[in-house]
Structure 1
Amino acid sequence: MSMPLRPGDPTRLGVYDLLDRLGQGGMGTVFRGRAADGSMVAIKMVRPEFADDPEFRGRFRSEVSRAQQVPPFSTAAVLDADPEHTPPYLVVEFVDGPSLTELVRDRGPLSGPALQSVAVGIATALTAIHSAGVIHRDLKPGNVLIAPGGIKVIDFGIARAFEATSRHTRTDQMVGTVAYMAPERFDPEYGAEVTSAADVFAWGAVVTYAATGRTPFAGESPTVTAMRILTQPPDTSGVPEPLRGLVESALAKYPEQRPTARQLLDALLGGRLVAPVPLPPPDDPAEVAPPAEKPRRGGPRRFAAALAALAVLLAGGLYGAHRLTMSDSSLPARGPASQAAPVDGLTAILAGDRRFSIQLGKADRYFMLDRGGDELELSDGTGSRSQFVLEPVGVEYLIRSLGNEGYAGPETCLGVRIIPGEQAAPVVGAACTPTKGTLFSVDATGDKDAKGRPTYSIRNEYGWVLWDSDAKRSDVAEVGEPQFADKYTLVDRGELGSAATPSATSPSPSAAPTTTGPALVDANLSELKSFAIELGVPVVVTTSLDAGAEYHLDARPDGTVDFTGTAVTETTRMTLKPAKVRKRTDENKNHVVIVASPVAAATGPESCVTDVRKGSLRMQPCRPGDAAQSWHLTPAGDSGLFELTGAHSALQVDQGHIVADGGWATFQTVAVTR
C-alpha cells in the first residue's frame, strides 16, 4: 500500500522520479519510482546518519555488488545503486503484489498448492541467493512478495551492509526479526559464524507461518521467543505432511544438521536429496558453511553466557530497530509492547500478559462485548464481558474478549463489520483469526486522561475505532489526522486466568470498578468417581482390550501425540485433572485436562494434550479455560471404560493411530507408580 510523499521527501534520486512512499524502516525509506524508460522501480534511500559512516558505504558497495550477481529466480532483481550519492540508494525490481504477511493476515493460513508454491518459491530464491555467495540474513514473511508470476524474495544480502564489522562487539547493529532468527544468531556455541544455514532455519519458520498463521517458537515477548528458539522444539502443528518433516529438519538447532537450500528444493520437487551445492569463494569467510561436526553441548556456564548475550541483544534494539524493508516497515511501531521485559501493568497489557478494560476518554464508561457477532456496547466496566487481552500478531494485535472465558467453544475477538449501503462500520465479535478486519494497532497518543493516565487510539486498516454517542454504536472510519481519533484508557484488570484485581502498579485503584467475573473453577467430575476411572494420580491412558492391544497415549519428544506407546515411560505417564471452567454447567460436566506427569518435578509449565484440529493432537503449555485442552470424558459402562471427545475430535484409534472412523473409541486408565 503506497502513501503520498511527505514534505521534505525528495522528488528525484539520480535518474529516477519518486512517485510515492512504499514504507519506512529503521534504515531508511522505500519509494516507488519511475525509471527513464517509464518502468516502475522500488528505491531504498538510506538514512543520512548511516550515509555518513565510511564503513557503511564500503560494506553497502560490496553487498550491492554481490546482490547484483544473484540469478533472477524467485528474487526481486537488484537493478541499480549509487553508494556515493548523498544519501546512498538502492534500486530494485518493483513487485506489484502483497507480502506474505499481508496475504496471511487478510486471507488466513495457506494450504494445498498455495502453500507448496510458497515453500518452493522461497527455496528457489535461497538456492539462487546462496549460489552467488550471498546470505539473506533477514528472511521473513514481509520480505516474501506474492507477484502475479510467482514468489519474489526481496532484501537479500543487503542486511549485512547495516551490521558492524564484528557482530560480537556491536550487537546493537545486528539485523533480524527474532521469530525467524537461527540459534547461532543469539549464541555462538551453536555456530561461530552466520552462514547460509541461518536462511534455511528462517525458511522453516516462514513456511510454518504461511501454513498456520504463527511462528514455530512464538512466545509472549521477544525474550521468550528467543529462549524457545535456543531451548525448545518447534511447534509445527498445522503444517501438513510431508512438508512438516522438511520444515522440522530446517529448524534443527545446529546449522550442520540442517539441509541446504538446494536440498530443500530437491525434496520439495520430489527428487532425492543431493549433496550441497558448492558455493564460489566469497570475500568474507562467514559466507562459507563450516564442516559438519558433532553438536556441542554446553553446561550451565555456557547457558548463562547465552542468557547474558541475549539480554544485551534485547537492550540493543536488535529486533527490527535497524531494518530496511519494503512491506512490514509501513506498519506502525507497537510502542511500549515491544519492550523485552514488562515492568508494570500497562507495559504487561501491551505485551499481551494482562487483562484490561477499554475506558472511553471522556466518560466513566467502558466497551463491552456480549457474545460473538454482537456489536460493541457500553457498560460500567464490571464483569468479564468488559475485559479484553491483546494477542500480538507482528506489530499489530488481535483484541480477544474474555466474555466467554471458561466456556467451551471458539474464542471471540474484535473485528470490523463492513455493511454494504451503510456508512457505519461497527466493531463486532468475530473469530480470532488474523485478517484485515481483526488486526488492530494500539497507538499512544501522547496525551493523558483526567486522572493522569496515558491514552491510546485504536485503529484498523479500515480506519480508527470511534464511538458515536448519538447513535450509541461503534464505528471504524478515517478521521484525517490521528489527533482527531477517539482516545481510550487501558485499565488494568489483573493477571490472566485469575480473579482480576487492579495491579499494585495501576495508576489509581479508584480509576474504575474492581469487580469482575467469577474466577475459574474446577469442572464437576463427581459422576466419574463411581466408574473406576483414576483421577488426579499418574496413569497411563490406554485403548481397551477390544482393540487387540493396550496402546498407550504417548506424547512424543517432538510434541505430537498418538497411541503408539506400549509401556509405562516418561512420555506415556499422564494425570487426568478437572478442566477449569467459568462456572459449572451441564455442558462442561465431566470435562478433564490430560496433563503430562513426569517422574521428576517439571522445571517449566505443565503440558496438556491439546486438540489443535480434527485428528491432530499436540502437547502444549496448559492454559486454564482453553476449550482445545478440555476433554469430555463419557463413561462407557461401570468397568472404567470411557470415551474422549475434544473441541475438534472424538478420539478413535486404529493400530495406535488416531483415525476419523473405523477405529476403537473406548479407553481406560491404569494407575502407575513413580
Structure 2
Amino acid sequence: MPNEKECIVPKESDNSRNPRTLGGTSAAEDHIAVHPEPPSSKVQALDVKLEPDKSGKPEKVGGGKATSVSRKKSYDVDLFFKVNGKLYQRLGKIGSGGSSEVHKVISSDCTIYALKKIKLKGREYGTAYGFCQEIEYLNKLKGKKNIIQLVDYEVTDKALLKEVTSGTMSNKDGRVKEDGYIYMVLEYGEIDLAHMLSQKWKELDSSSSTIDENWLRFYWQQILLAVNTIHEEERIVHSDLKPANFLLVSGSLKLIDFGIAKAIMSDTTNIQRDSQVGTLSYMSPEAFMCNETDANGNTIKCGRPSDIWSLGCILYQMVYGRTPFSEYKTFWAKFKVITDPNHEIAYEPVQNPWLLDIMKKCLAWDRNQRWRIPQLLQHPFLVPPVPPQVSAPMDQSCKLLQLIGKSCQNDPKSFMLFSQLQQLLKDPRTSATSESSISHDEMHKLLSGVSNLCLQLQRQLANFEEIQLSDI
C-alpha cells in the first residue's frame, strides 16, 4: 500500500484519545504572508489528550449552582486556534505588530492558511471598528481573483460586530475595555511585493543591471487590475496602498489589508475622513491635508485619486528601487515637499519614455489630473503603440514619413502628432464632407491642418532633442 501524507487536526467534537486521521490531501501552499520566513515546525500527527481544567474550580451551570464535573479541553491552546468551532494547527508565526499577530496554520483538510489574530482590548474604538469593517469588505469581495480571500472569521465582541453590520458607531472616541479578539482565516501567500522588490534590487545592484520592463509590465498590470476591482466594481477606496499590501499567491499578486478602507458614497468619487490615514511614503498630498480647506475654500477630500498617487509611488519604487521622497527622512520634511504644489519630483532617465509618462500620470500633484485605472490599463506602456506601417515604400513621400516615424518613436508627444499627420495624409477624405471630391475651402482647411501638424511636430522634436542632450 503506498505511503500517504497524513494530516491530523482534531475536531472540536472529537473527544477520543486518538484523533481522527485525514489522509491523502496535500497541503497546498497557495495562499497571506507578512514576512516570507519558513515555519520552524512541521506538520505532524499529534495525540491530543483531554485535560482537566487546571484552575480546579467547579464549573457553573444554569441557575448558578456548582457541579463537580471539571471543564475538559479537547485541544491544546498552545498548538491550535479555534475559529467558529473549527481547529487550525499552528505551524509558526509569520509576523506581528502592536496587538496583532499572523500565524501560518493548517486546517483539518490539510490546507495551509494564514490566521490573523487581533487583540481588541485597549484599542481605539474607531480602529477596532475598522478591523471589523475589513471583514465586511472581504466578504463583499469574495470570489474576486485579485483580492485576498477570507475563508472564515470570528469576532468575540459580538456587540462591536453588530454595530459594524448595522453601520452605527456608539463609542467613537472611546477605547475598547472588554477582552475581545478578531480571528481571520485568509489565503496564504508566498511573499509580498515589498520583499519581492527588496530581493529584485539586491540582484540588480550586484549585477549592475537595469529593471526588466517585461517584469515591470507583468506585475504593474496585476496591481492595476486588483485596484480596479475595488475602485470600479465595488467602489471602495483602499487608502493604504503600498508594496507590503500586495501578496503573491500562486504566481499572481493579490490586494490585502482593508483595515482603513472606506466605501465611496454612490453620489461622489471622494470620501471625507476624520484623520490622516495611510503609510507616509505613499500618502497623497490630499491625504496629508484631509478635511482642511483649499485655496478656493473647498474641503479637501480623499478618494480614488489618492489611491492612484500611492500606485505612482509603488511604480516609482519598482523602477528606481526607492520611493519618490525617500531622501526626506523626517515626517515634516516629507510633509513639506509632498504638500507643495510647486515641488517637482525627480525622475532619472529611463529607456522607455512611456514608462516615464505613466509615472507622471499617477504622480500629478493636482488630483484631478491623475489618470483613472481604466485609462492606466490602456496606457501605451502596457499597450505599446503599433509601429507606423507605411504602404508604397518606393514613394518618396512615404519614405519621408518612415524617417519621421522612426525619429518620433521615443517621444510620446511627437508620436501622437506624427500619428495624426499620418492619418491625415493617408485618408484626407475622413475630414471632408464628400468622399468623391473636396471643395476649395476643404482643401484649404486640410492643407492648413497638415501645415500646423508639421510645425508642432518640428517644435516638439526640437524640444525632445534638447532634453536628451541636457540629460547626457
Distance 2:77 2:330 in 1: 36
**Amino acid in the other structure paired with 1:214:** R
Distance 2:217 2:147 in 1: 17
Question: Is the contact between residue 2 and residue 23 of structure 1 (CA under 8 Å) also seen in structure 2?
Answer: no
How far is the alpha carbon of 1:102 from its aligned partner?
A: 1.6
Pair 1:107-2:180 in alignment: no
**Amino acid in the other structure paired with 2:330:** S
* 2:102 partner SS: strand
Task: Say if 1:81 and 1:266 are closer, same or farther in 2 by CA, change over 3 A.
Answer: farther
How far is the alpha carbon of 1:122 from its aligned partner?
A: 0.7
**Amino acid in the other structure paired with 1:205:** C
Tell me what 1:236 maps to: 347
Query: Which among 23, 32, 44 is matched to residue 95 of structure 2?
Result: 23
Query: Which among 189, 201, 220 is matched to residue 95 of structure 1?
Result: 189
* 1:68 partner SS: helix
Pair 1:122-2:223 in alignment: yes
How far is the alpha carbon of 1:655 from its aligned partner?
A: 4.6
Deviations 1:185-224 (A, max 9, x none): 1113466322122111110000110111111122122322
Matches within 5 A, 1:68-467: 68-70=139-141, 72-84=144-156, 86-96=180-190, 98-108=191-201, 110-130=211-231, 131-155=233-257, 157-160=258-261, 167-168=273-274, 171=275, 174-188=276-290, 189=293, 192-218=300-326, 219-231=328-340, 232-238=343-349, 240-267=352-379, 269-270=382-383
Gaps of 5+ in 2: 1-36, 42-75, 158-179, 205-210, 263-270, 386-462
Aligned residues: 270
Pair 1:62-2:156 in alignment: no
How far is the alpha carbon of 1:91 from its aligned partner?
A: 2.2
Question: Is the contact between residue 111 and residue 211 of structure 1 (CA under 8 Å) also seen in structure 2?
Answer: no
Question: Is the contact between residue 28 and residue 44 of structure 1 (CA under 8 Å) also seen in structure 2?
Answer: yes
Question: Is the contact between residue 73 and residue 124 of structure 1 (CA under 8 Å) also seen in structure 2?
Answer: no
Deviations 1:165-184 (A, max 9, x none): 9854xx4xx54211100111
**Amino acid in the other structure paired with 1:199:** D
Question: Is the contact between residue 137 and residue 159 of structure 1 (CA under 8 Å) also seen in structure 2?
Answer: yes
Tell me what 2:413 maps to: none
Tell me what 1:36 maps to: 108
* 1:80 partner SS: strand
How far is the alpha carbon of 1:124 from its aligned partner?
A: 0.6
Q: Which has the larger share of strand?
A: 1
Distance 1:255 1:8 in 2: 50
Task: Say if 1:101 and 1:654 are closer, same or farther in 2 by CA, change over 3 A.
Answer: closer
Task: Say if 1:18 and 1:102 are closer, same or farther in 2 by CA, change over 3 A.
Answer: same
**Amino acid in the other structure paired with 2:316:** T
Deviations 1:30-76 (A, max 9, x none): 111223322111121112335x7665554433332222223524332
Task: Say if 1:196 and 1:655 are closer, same or farther in 2 by CA, change over 3 A.
Answer: closer
Q: Which has the larger share of helix?
A: 2
Distance 2:277 2:325 in 1: 19
Task: Say if 1:177 and 1:62 are closer, same or farther in 2 by CA, change over 3 A.
Answer: closer
Task: Say if 1:27 and 1:182 are closer, same or farther in 2 by CA, change over 3 A.
Answer: farther
Distance 1:143 1:36 in 2: 28
Question: Is the contact between residue 66 and residue 132 of structure 1 (CA under 8 Å) also seen in structure 2?
Answer: no
TM (norm. structure 1) is 0.36
How far is the alpha carbon of 1:10 from its aligned partner?
A: 6.9
Task: Say if 1:659 and 1:256 are closer, same or farther in 2 by CA, change over 3 A.
Answer: closer
TM (norm. structure 2) is 0.51
Distance 1:238 1:38 in 2: 50
Distance 1:10 1:48 in 2: 22
**Amino acid in the other structure paired with 1:252:** A
**Amino acid in the other structure paired with 1:216:** P
How far is the alpha carbon of 1:236 from its aligned partner?
A: 2.9
* 2:339 partner SS: helix
How far is the alpha carbon of 1:139 from its aligned partner?
A: 1.0
Pair 1:11-2:80 in alignment: yes
Distance 2:278 2:131 in 1: 17
Distance 1:9 1:68 in 2: 29
Task: Say if 1:255 and 1:37 are closer, same or farther in 2 by CA, change over 3 A.
Answer: farther
Task: Say if 1:76 and 1:658 are closer, same or farther in 2 by CA, change over 3 A.
Answer: same
Distance 2:359 2:378 in 1: 14
Question: Is the contact between residue 285 and residue 365 of structure 2 (CA under 8 Å) also seen in structure 1?
Answer: yes
Distance 2:284 2:338 in 1: 7
How far is the alpha carbon of 1:99 from its aligned partner?
A: 2.2
Matches within 5 A, 1:588-667: 655-656=465-466, 658=468
Gaps of 5+ in 1: 273-652, 666-674
Report which of the two structures shows the higher radius of gyration computed on alpha carbons: 2
Deviations 1:357-415 (A, max 9, x none): xxxxxxxxxxxxxxxxxxxxxxxxxxxxxxxxxxxxxxxxxxxxxxxxxxxxxxxxxxx
Task: Say if 1:66 and 1:148 are closer, same or farther in 2 by CA, change over 3 A.
Answer: closer
**Amino acid in the other structure paired with 2:113:** V
Tell me what 2:177 maps to: none
